Amino acid sequence: WPRARRRACHAVIRRSFDRRHRTLRRHHHAPDVQRTRAGAARRIPPVSLKVYVVITALRRRLADAVASLTTRANVNPVAAREMASSMMMTTTRALAPVAARSASRGVRAAVRAGPSRGFAPSFGARRSVYCKAVEAPVNPTELNPPANLHGFELVREDYVAEYDSKVFFFRHTKTGAEVMSLSNDDENKCFGVTLRTPPANSTGIPHILEHSVLCGSRKYPIKEPFVELIKGSLNTFLNAMTYPDRTCYPVASCNLQDFRNLVDVYLDAVFHPRCVDNEKTFQQEGWHYELDAPDQEMTFKGVVYNEMKGVYSSPDSVLAREAQQALFPENTYGVDSGGDPTVIPQLTFAEFRDFHGKFYHPSNSRMWFYGDDDVEDRLKILDSFLSEFDRKEIDSTIATQKYFTEPKRVVASYVAGEGEEAEKSFVQVNWLLNDGPFDTETALAVGFLDNLLLGSPAAPLRMALEESGLGEAIVGYGLEDELRQPTFAIGLKGVAKEDIPKVESLITETIAKIAEEGFTQAAIDSSVNSIEFAMRENNTGRFPRGLSLMLRSLSAWLYEGDPVEILRFEEPLSKLKARMAKEDVFTPLIKKMLIDNTHKVTIELNPDKELGKVQDEEEKAKVAAYRAGLSPEEIEKVVADTEELKRLQETPDSPEALACVPALDITDIPKEAKSIPTDVSTVGATTMLTHDIFTNDILYAEHLMDLHAVPMDLMPLVPLWCRAMQRMGTSKRSFVDFDQLVGATTGGFSLSPFTSSIRGSDDVSAYLVLRGKSTSAQAGQLHDLMAEMMLEAKLDDKEIFKQLVLESRASMESRVQSGGHSVAAGRLDAMDSVAGYVSEQLGGLAQLEHLKTLAKRIDGDWDGVVADLERIRAALVSRAGSVTNLTADEKTLEATAGAVRSFLDALPAEGTGAATEAWSKDLVLPPVNELITVPTQVNYVGKGANLYKSGYELHGSAYVINKLLGTTWLWDRVRVSGGAYGGFSDFDSHSGMFSYLSYRDPNLLKTIANYDGTVEFLKDISLDKDELTKAIVGTMGDLDSYQLPDAKGYTALMRHLLKVKDEERQQRREEVLATTEKDFKKFGEVLEATRAPEARVCAVVSPDAAEAAMKERPDLDFKVTSVM
């Protein structure tokens, strides 16, 4: 997959500094797909959606990061922005949405008395510890290799001090399989098997195979053991990922038995999948011809096929694909490992089977263990699978792309809609930096250079582009060094066609100027501190630290590099800092890799309003041509094959068959809910929460101010106000000086709004959240800078503000097009509750419309805009109704108390011009059935209703039921049979909103019918003990999430704001554990509300799909809203 599109989830410390990973990856289908619910306390997306994980530059693209988070997690856009901020500060340049989203999901879910929506089996994790894994581990430095190596030879023994981990590198004697075994005291145990899988074409074989191998295996001969694991596992990570040159199958869990179960299922799936002998799996996950009757239309269908149609509907994805393929025309990176929808139907089952036979062999594997489990047990488990294989010579090497002798240019098109976006182009300049992976010293230096060029809003290359007025937002984002050959890319989107040459010239001239003038010492100091802070904090959010290290190790290991040395950073960092003190490290690199480099490709991507129609017509023509060559008997066979595939898809495995999948029992789960140490006090007008938790001398601080103070007419301006406050400098310092001082002395801070409903109350929890972190010694500087920003930030730079508006608008447009399910969910919420309405104003479709209007207002009424920005500050920044949340150990809390108090004392006691009227229920949007039209080849379908308004009273069994729906009825009907990339339900326990959502869905009305069928499914359900137990165990995993210290403190804050008491959490826990089949049937009655006349539909679709739906179902009286 094109690297720039999606990046790895381990972003916190790549190769001794925070790196950004643009290598696209994919995550295997979990039933819930991205469950991006736009209401308060939304849960995270399941794996189903295999979202690619994008790492956007830290601080650089808050809007993009939030869009990424909201598209993947069940968090409203505003809450997502707030929660993403913390993870953004974790690193200097990168935000790993997986980690961020996982952190936010853990935060929001833990806030609740129980999981309010579905489950989140994969990314990051909401599973936690249920039993002691092993006895207290031996000190890693004293750990010896096992006496019995179980068929392995010990190749290397080492110790990585940075992570206090003993490393054993083993090689399997019989097969040559390599194993990295890291032992430490981390209870979050991790395993992964990775195979190099370089494709020769764009049929998507690696991607389809990644989906398919988890659909049954030799030991687990059922339809989808992966889904069964999701139902009843306590995993902290469960997924699979397709890269341009490899496929990864990682798992993690804190429970030892659960961990061993996951490893066993995954190893059997990889090496003994049933899909290689079952063409129906290939047809389901890859592609097939679908025909329900001889007189109906024949179409292409398949999960990956529809997924990739959605990917290719995104201009950003098209740009990334074009860039990667243009840079690497001669090796495997020149094709799309995810699959091109126009090429996927060329793939045959024989080719699919042969690809597995060639590459899915132990001799081509690299395996990873990490955590506190026993080393000998690891080897014993592996040998039980590997010993039946013999060594095999496999050529999976990744060929080196030869350097171009002169630069190249590619002009391509993307599908555009009507209106302003139809005139917007993309331009991106790309370089190939080396003929292989960098050595450690060069890699570190180039990483710092990348950070200095683009790593903060004050970085010169980034600043030059953002302030040029030539485009709306940056694309490319610099260094990508995770593939065999590193690259660098940078450009702009939203560019007028006539300005494309100007953008290219600006990039070239700015780089030349930087090479000539060098970087200031302040910029270097800021970069060094930011990177060091991130490395030492080692905060990977909800993404397991062990898998973060695995992905980093693989970036060397896969290309015959050293898998251990790449994990170290202390010595290389010290050497680089010494070099930087004596010489100019960066100018020679800039000249060699960017200025004098002839392997340079410029991509120009232009809008084409007719391209979508052309693509649709070409697809129909291909199917028609195939059909025209069939005899009546052959057509009947296609109908019969379609019917047979659907029958298999919709027929559940028997209880006897399902019993083969290992599972935990309810007795393995503690009966008592865990609490987080919290002390609540009052400091003047401020409510103070403190959490005595070990944080390694780091203070995590959140300062909340009451958002109700903002007049409602100014509410849509708040997100832009937050960005402007951080982007224009202060009365004391220029923006550059301020930004560099923040980087040089703190772990960073951010500003964003947060809103949520509160169960059982008409009140809305709504705050502006200022989040920051620093070492104990720098807490005073942190709070001084935060106070300076809040009180003295400038808001009068017209050009900067206009650029922020354009960036935000571009980000929102991208979100509507590629994450429409979150937009649909937000609209449904806005029709239901005041909190939903406010969230919609802050981060939904209403925000996009406001941005369009604001972009025009800036030129005609700039003074009025500035006045509004100042009104927000005057009303909002005060102690009235404020909350402060501090997380650190007792010593750190005591040492930093003065700094915190000084900050609070600096704030005004009351705001001026604050709103006085309570938020009325009249604010909610009128309830309608709405179709939001954008240029797309797939649909995002939502339907919902408020269960509390129909009389339902919350019971813990609702969480179990919602979880089961996502892995049974909705999974089978919407995804497996319907062909959508994902389908799931979403229950917000705070507002009472129950929603159905689909992702990259070829259907619209058929999906709505499947939603309505949920009622009968539950009323008629018959559950055996094992299936019910799995659902309960999996739900308990959602309740007890594994969290790092900062997430624990934030979780406690959310519980306080949303008035969730420990007593209520314990009650819900007991209700979950006591769930019965009768509860499912009762809930079926409750869900009648979702198909009653009061229920509403909202979907993001193409104009053609909207027109067809209106003709077929005039009774739904759809309102059409054209966005793009």
Q: Which residues are catalytic?
A: 210, 285
Q: Which of 202, 249, 197, 239 is nearest to 50 (CA)?
A: 239
Decide: residue 685, CB within 10 A, 0-12 exposed, 13-18 middle, 19+ buried.
middle
Reading the block at residue 639, the tokens are 């109908």
DSSP calls for 415-436: E--SSGGGG-EEEEEEEE--SS
Rounded to an integer, what distance in angstroms lies between the CA atom of residue 232 and that of residue 1034? 4
CA separation for the pair 504, 468 (Å, rounded): 12
Calculate helix-pair angle for 820-830, 845-860, nearest 10 degrees: 90
DSSP state of 14: B
Distance CA 577, CA 696 (A): 24
CA distance to 41, 42, 830, 837, 944, per residue, from 827 (Å): 16, 14, 5, 8, 10
DSSP secondary-structure letter at 778? G
Of residues 545, 422, 888, the one with CA closest to residue 693 = 888
Cβ atoms within 10 Å of 627's Cβ, excluding its own: 15
The residue among 1076, 1008, 457, 471 whose CA lies nearest residue 737 is 457
Q: Please, which residues have CB within 8 angstroms of residue 737's CB and are 6 or more apart in sequence?
A: 522, 729
Q: Which amino acid is at 165?
A: S
Distance separating alpha carbons of residues 752 and 769, to the nearest angstrom: 5
Vertex 26: Cα angle to 25 and 32 (nearest 5): 150
User: Nearest-CA neighbor of 482 among 520, 443, 521, 454?
Assistant: 443
SS3 content of the chain, % helix, strand, coil (to 5): 50, 15, 35
**Cβ(678)–Cβ(690) below 8 Å:** yes
- Strands ordered across the beta sheet of 940-946: 982-987, 993-999, 940-946, 1096-1101, 930-933, 1119-1122
Tell me the C-alpha distance between 194 and 197, whole Å.
9
Spatial separation of the C-alpha atoms in residues 333 and 328, rounded to whole Å:
6
Cα 174 from Cα 171, distance rounded (Å):
9
Q: Write out the two tokens for 128.
A: 């936690």
CA trace torsion 121, 124, 127, 131 (10° rounding): 130
772 DSSP β-pair partners: 701, 749
Whole-number Å distance between alpha carbons of 92 and 1030: 41
DSSP per position, 21-34: ----------TT--
Closest-CA residue to 1060 (of 126, 125, 110): 110
Burial class of 1064 by CB neighbour count within 10 A (0 to 12, 13 to 18, 19+): middle
**Nearest-10 crossing angle of helices 225-232, 957-967:** 170
Cβ atoms of 46 and 60 closer than 8 Å: no
Beta strands in 523-587 (DSSP E): none
